[in-house]
Amino acid sequence: MDDVCIIESEKIRNKVDGNFVDLVLHTILKLKKQVLVFNNSKRSSQTSAHAIANAIKLEDIENKDKLEELSMKIYNALPHPTSQCRKLRECIKKGVAFHHSGLVTKQRTLIEKSFREGLIKAISSTPTLAAGLNLPAYKVIIKDYKRYSQRGMIDIPILEYHQMAGRAGRPGSEDIGKTVLCVKDEKNVQDIATKYVFGESEEIISKLAVEPTLKMYILSLISMDMINTKEEIKDFFKSTLYAHQYQDIESLNFNVFRIIDILKDYKFVSQDDDYYMGTELGKKISKLYLNPDTANYFLVNLPKFVKRFNNDSISKYDVYSVINFFCNTLEMRPLFRAYVNERAVYEKTLEDIGDDLIVKFDPFESDIDAFLNSLKTSDVFESWISEAPEDYISDKYNVTPGELNYKVGVMDWLLYCLEEIAFLKKELYFKNFLKKLRVRFQFGIKSELLPLVALKGIGRTRARKLFKSGYKKLLDIKKADEKMLARVVGEKIAISLKEQMSDGQEVVEKPLTPKKPSNIKAQYEEDVSEDEIDVLITNYNEFEEEKKEVNMNLTDYF
């Protein structure tokens, strides 16, 4: 069987002279089939795509017009296209794409759809495409079987090879699929073939061995009353994959009860003789799917926030310190990396405002690299909510729009979690602050645009345009002349804005915008007293003046 592999490799070598680009060209131009190329980094996935695109002659391109149209759609997926968008556009024109986490969802979806339709002939990607996504191709080329890790370069797991190789062949439409695994050193060919092509996959390892995961599951199982007594707990873990794999039930039990003790310290679990149960707080944390350590970190630091935020003068540094606070959670990892040439900047930041941060740098305890990364990540976030365009963030920080979007999503979730915890702890003023900050993250805007983004069809770009033209509040829009508005946002949007502002017209709540007080009341009726709800609504009403002014049933945008 081993010979098959070698023979195949000989054939390929003769045909394509050992160059993967020739192999791709042969497949898409001669065989008229599609190819997926897997790389081990974002950069090399782009480089490979370029190499393929450059090798394709103009006269060989099919559906030029459609590709041109697609390339512009992909390029304009962002209001401020980045250099990455430009590079992608050039590849797409030749029917080639690169695909990795740096692209925004819209771009990825367009590429995947066009590949399925046969418009795009080759995709060069990181392992993103191997997991989950159903995107088969006639040929799969695995360019790298090694990947960088903190322990140096390591061979990818066999399981992952199978994931990638499994994309070859289109069930239902083609009889065969081919996978080519590139091995640079001739003398390794046999070993690599034996390992990956003919070898057995690794065993699936239980994730319960990872403490944060175990903590989350224990809290959730106890909170949901699935296991409550010592016996039930022991029985449950005895039957897990973890126990099956490690056999050492005693040490497993020891770990489980040690973690339960921590959860008791956190006051997420309470104990009555032999019976364990989730506290209100514990149930909430579990429902939020928040790591108990992070939840505790939130709770421990809550008084610091309250001291700082229960007054009207919130400075830029206060907002920065909150952002940095979130950047020091487990959930936010991996952080954006402070590169060697950026370190001095963040060391200076640390020196200048280190004392103002909620989480202080401890030279004996903290890891300086991680701390500098947290400062860089905070900087990126701060730029985002100061309306820095994606191309600026990409150039300045080397953070791509896709990575930014993903991290903003994590931030949104964490803000929501702390908001809920603040509510439980009756810190309503602080909760309001978080709510407002969340909307700023969702849209990437400064506070002054908050009223405007409550309108349908208005995001960060249009809101800023409106603001610059003097339409700063909803009342300004209500009073505005439609034609004048159209000059700023175009005719269609202007009509929509006027419609939204007409009397009796309810403004439709955008997804993810905070809830109205009536909803909050409904949601928490069981959890809090009438008085507490009254306080919340009073707080809310402070922000309602403008709403009364325009006599509308607006959403709560604060």
Q: Rule CB under 7 A: which residues touch DNA?
A: 40-44, 47, 100-102, 126-128, 131-132, 146-148, 152-153, 184-185, 287-289, 331, 334, 337, 339-341, 398, 403, 406, 409-410, 412-413, 415-417, 438, 508-509, 511-512, 515, 519, 523
- Minimum distance from CB of 173 to DNA (Å)? 25
The smaller minimum CB distance to DNA, of residues 298 and 467, is found at 298
The minimum distance between CB 46 and DNA, in angstroms, equals 9
Q: What is the DSSP letter of 514?
A: P
180 neighbors 171 (Cβ within 8 angstroms): no
Place of tokens 């100061």: 386
Nearer to DNA, 47 or 301 (CB): 47
- DSSP string covering 228-281, please? -BHHHHHHHHHTSHHHHHH--HHHHHHHHHHHHHHHHHTTSEEEETTEEEE-HH
* Peptide bond preceding 334 in cis form (omega within 30 of 0): yes
Strand partners, 17: none
* Residue (338 or 452) nearer to DNA, CB: 338
Q: How far is the CB of 222 from DNA (least distance, A)?
A: 17
Query: How near is the Cβ of 234 to DNA at its closest, in Å?
Result: 27
**Residue 276, strand partner residues:** 271
Q: How far is the CB of 367 from DNA (least distance, A)?
A: 16
Give the shortest CB-441-to-DNA separation in angstroms. 10
Give the nearer residue to DNA in terms of CB position, either 60 or 186: 186
Cα–Cα distances (Å) from 378 to 52, 350, 372, 485, 551, in that order, read 38, 12, 10, 36, 39
CA distance 83 to 102: 12
Residue closer to DNA by CB (options 152, 504) is 152
Q: How many angstroms separate the CA atoms of 71 and 86, rounded?
A: 9
Strands 139-142, 35-38: pairing is: parallel
Comparing CB distances to DNA, the nearer of 41 and 310 is: 41
CB of 271 to DNA, least distance (A): 26
Give the separation between CA 128 and CA 112, rounded to whole angstroms.
Answer: 12
Decide: 343 and 467 in contact? Cβ < 8 Å: no
| Residue reference for tokens 């108990």 | 292
Query: For residues 72 and 344, which CB has a smaller minimum distance to DNA in the complex?
Result: 344
CA-based end-to-end distance of the chain: 67
- Closer CB to DNA, 350 or 357, in the complex: 350
CB of 381 to DNA, least distance (A): 15
CA 549 to chain centre: 39
63 vs 101, beta carbon nearer DNA: 101
> Based on CB atoms, which residue is closest to DNA, 40 or 432?
40
Instruction: Identify the three-state secondary structure at position 182.
Output: coil
- CB-neighbour burial class of residue 8 (10 A; exposed 0-12, middle 13-18, buried 19+): middle
d(CA 106, CA 55): 27
**Shortest distance, CB of residue 377 to DNA, whole angstroms?**
12
Please give the single-letter amino acid code of residue 32: K
Radius of gyration of the chain (CA): 28
From start to end of 80-158, where are the E strands? 96-99, 122-125, 139-142, 146-149, 152-155
Question: 406 near 348, Cβ under 8 Å?
Answer: no
Nearer to DNA, 145 or 361 (CB): 145
Least Cβ distance, residue 479 to DNA (angstroms): 28
Rounded to 5 degrees, what are φ and ψ at 433? Answer: -60, -45
> At its nearest, how many Å lie between DNA and the CB of residue 62?
27
